[in-house]
Amino acid sequence: DQQVKQNSPSLSVQEGRISILNCDYTNSMFDYFLWYKKYPAEGPTFLISISSIKDKNEDGRFTVFLNKSAKHLSLHIVPSQPGDSAVYFCAARGGSGAGSYQLTFGKGTKLSVIP
Amino acid sequence: DAGVIQSPRHEVTEMGQEVTLRCKPISGHNSLFWYRQTMMRGLELLIYFNNNVPIDDSGMPEDRFSAKMPNASFSTLKIQPSEPRDSAVYFCASSRDIETQYFGPGTRLLVL
């Protein structure tokens, strides 16, 4: 049972345009969400996070939106650059016990930014 | 600042051999996580240490897997004996308590 789903395995975007990566979750106990970026042969790199008490968090070109009622979050990258080409993972945690520290990851979306 | 350091970066071994993966967490971080990434299952948590103590090893696949953290700056993940289905990328991550986890570059393991 996948609790965090990234339904688009891949996405291609023209340089300079907006990239929108989506993530859905099913566990209502999740209260903290993160996006990681991964280049080939490297480990995931933390990008941006959002707590469930917010509906938006912005860091430079990266903005994460959270819609709790829809159990949906999205990562917007504006403007997209070729260096943004990577696999993006959505992750979530929440609840007591293991939920307080265990990150549940989606399967990732491969973003290709075309020059 | 140095990030999480893992060694080796690549390991090729034969079925039945012992494999030891190593991790040095970020200085000052007191939580350490071992993950495994496969195509089928994605990123899965294997074991979580806090202040050098194993807190949750429910993700360890079977008794062939063991992990230790003898001090705050070193951890090992051992597979003995290794099997072809253990082939995967193994990541170590560290954090301050349950704050953001920072990942190492991973060890790509191939068991023939």
The whole-number pLDDT of residue B1 equals 64
Mean pLDDT is lowest, of B11-20, B54-63, B64-73, for B54-63
The whole-number pLDDT of residue A48 equals 97
Closest chain B residue to the Cα of A98, Cα to Cα: B56
**d(Cα A68, Cα A66) in Å, to the nearest integer?**
6
Mean pLDDT is lowest, of B4-13, B79-88, B94-103, for B94-103
Closest CB from B48, B100, B105 relative to A43:
B105
Residue B41 identity (one-letter amino acid)? R
Taking the Cβ of residue A62 and every Cβ of chain B, the question of whether any pair is shorter than 8 Å is answered with no
pLDDT at B29 over 80: yes
The whole-number pLDDT of residue B18 equals 97
Taking the Cβ of residue A105 and every Cβ of chain B, the question of whether any pair is shorter than 8 Å is answered with yes
**d(Cα A101, Cα A29) in Å, to the nearest integer?**
13
Q: Is B70 left (phi over 0), alpha (psi -120 to 50) or beta?
A: alpha
Give the count of beta carbons closer than 10 Å to the beta carbon of residue A55.
Answer: 12
Region B86-106: mean pLDDT is 94
Best mutation site among B43, B91, B92 for testing chain A: the one with the most A CBs within 10 Å?
B43
Q: How confident is the model at residue A108 (pLDDT cuts 50, 70, 90)?
A: very high
Closest CB from A43, A89, A102 relative to B45:
A102
pLDDT at B97 over 90: no
Percent of chain A clearing pLDDT 90 (strictly above): 90
Cβ separation of B45 and A36 shorter than 8 Å? no
Closest chain A residue to the Cα of B101, Cα to Cα: A46
Region A66-87: mean pLDDT is 97
Q: Which residues of B touch A45 (CB under 8 A)?
A: 103
More confident residue, B62 or A106: A106
pLDDT digits (tens, 9 = 90+) for A15-41: 999 999 999 999 999 999 999 999 998
Cβ separation of A36 and B42 shorter than 8 Å? no
pLDDT at B112 over 90: yes
